[in-house]
Structure 1
Amino acid sequence: MDETRLRGELREAAAAHRPDHARMLARVERGMAAPPPRRDRTPLRAPRAGRRWTATAAVAATVVAVVGLGGLAVTTLQDRPAPPAVAAVPGPAARAAGTVDPGSNHWWAQSDLAVTTDAEVTGLTVEVRVALTGGVVRTGHWQTRSADDFTVAVTEEPGALVYRWTLKDGRAVPPGPHTFAAQYNHAEGVRDASADRYTVVLTARDGGRTTLRGGFG
């Protein structure tokens, strides 16, 4: 056989060859795990290459496991349905108006707060703030509802004399107009009530809440 033909057959055989990768990898692993030839009487020790291979494989397996668990957690959180939206409960329809009683004079005054509600309320807080202009001193208070239904407190806070009515637990206020009055002395003359304020918070039986604010100017 001439050399040219021999070279051609070798090339054809090489092109047709399909190496067995699994067998090659197993052979390499066995070679790396095998101890080196013994040349002296030093006790055999685990080859560094083998330990490095084992550590690398363990790290790779750990990374795969962590990535797999992380992907599972992300998928679980993304697939979790969003909580249903909770609709806000509308508060009771109500109106309020603050005025200075026409019976007030040059030494004494009464601030009237008219509160009208279209439905029964089971929670009610009324606050009247009388600005501490010259000579303001409390003299009394009253309301059209029964005094047994409310806890009333009058306190002096920075800049204002505060009257506060709070509906007692278990009581209710029916629909209709209701009046809350704060009485006080003041310095002689016509008092300016433009800095006076009120706040009313009403709570319906179903939990809906309404807040009203205004003044007595």
Structure 2
Amino acid sequence: MNEEISRRLHEAAQAHQPDRARMLARVQRGVAGPAVRHRARRGLWSAPRAALAGLVAGGILATGGLAVDAIVATSSSSETVVAPAGPSPSPSASTGTPGTPPSRPAPVVPAPVTTPGSPRPTPSAAVQAQNGVLWSAGSVDPHSTVYWSQENLVLRTTQPLTSLTVELRFAQTGGVQDTGDWRTLPTDDFTVTVQQTGGTLVYRWVLRPGRTVPAGEHEFAGQFNHATGVRSAAGDAYRVDAQGPGGSAPSVWGGFAPAQ
């Protein structure tokens, strides 16, 4: 019985010609639509018929599976895969927008103090004086303001001095008060006094005994506050008394030229 079934199955398999078009159509319908469930017929099949049907169905499915695999392989080989474009590279820090250059510092307003060696205005002939070895010139410092002033005295000597007294006198025009003084000669070489006397602010430098002022150009300055406004130096004056190794030297005196 079994041999007979095998023989018939073998002959059926050899004679079978699968319809690939129908099989492909069924596969496509199966993919596109929902599966249709069929009710099994009631009743029992005989064992030989059931075995024969199972073998035939297995052969059809095997052949159909090969056909489907071939179709899927052919379809896959014809597809073109395009790789997604990668994200654009982000710009590096070096390609960023340049920073705003630092702003320029605000201009520095000069403080109302003149240091030794600063540029001095050329005084007019009316405030210059020369007598023997001495030459002098007075001027209002250009850094003076409407509430503060500095007045300078330039003194030249053609020979060393063993005695020297320099006096600057500033008229009390309102609110005139001492704020400082300086000289280009060593501080320790002089005794300095500042006082208000007779409506005048007086600065006096006296050379200490045993000290010598070398030949050359030297400068003395007095600094003071005053009432707000442009102050006139018409009432201000200076005087210099000196003595050299050979005896007394002539004195020089004068006024202060306005700031240029």
The TM-score range, normalised by the shorter chain, is 0.5 to 0.7
Structure 1 residue 130: Cα displacement: 0.4
Amino acid at match of 2:222: A
TM-score, normalisation: structure 1: 0.57
1:198 and 1:177 map into 2 onto residues whose CA distance is 16
The residue aligned with 1:211 is: 251
* Corresponding residue SS for 2:181: strand
How many aligned positions are there?
127
1:162-173 equivalences in 2 (<5 Å): 162-173=202-213
The residue aligned with 2:136 is: 96
TM-score, normalisation: structure 2: 0.48
Amino acid at match of 1:195: G
* Corresponding residue SS for 1:148: helix
Aligned partner (choices 81, 89, 107) of residue 147 of structure 2 = 107
* Corresponding residue SS for 1:216: coil
The runs of 5 or more residues in structure 2 that have no matched partner are 1-130
1:152-191 equivalences in 2 (<5 Å): 152-191=192-231
1:1-217 equivalences in 2 (<5 Å): 93-217=133-257
RMSD: 1.1
Greater relative contact order (Cα < 8 A, sep 6+)? 1
User: Would you identify which runs of 4 or more consecutive aligned residues in structure 1 move more than 3 Å?
Assistant: none
1:145 and 1:107 map into 2 onto residues whose CA distance is 28
* Corresponding residue SS for 2:159: coil
* Corresponding residue SS for 1:208: strand
8 Å CA contact 1:92–1:119 kept in 2: the answer is no
The runs of 5 or more residues in structure 1 that have no matched partner are 1-90
2:245 and 2:132 map into 1 onto residues whose CA distance is 9
1:212 and 1:189 map into 2 onto residues whose CA distance is 31
8 Å CA contact 1:92–1:202 kept in 2: the answer is no
2:231 and 2:224 map into 1 onto residues whose CA distance is 11
The residue aligned with 1:84 is: none
Structure 1 residue 202: Cα displacement: 1.0
Larger radius of gyration: 2
1:187 and 1:129 map into 2 onto residues whose CA distance is 17
Structure 1 residue 189: Cα displacement: 0.9
Amino acid at match of 2:176: V
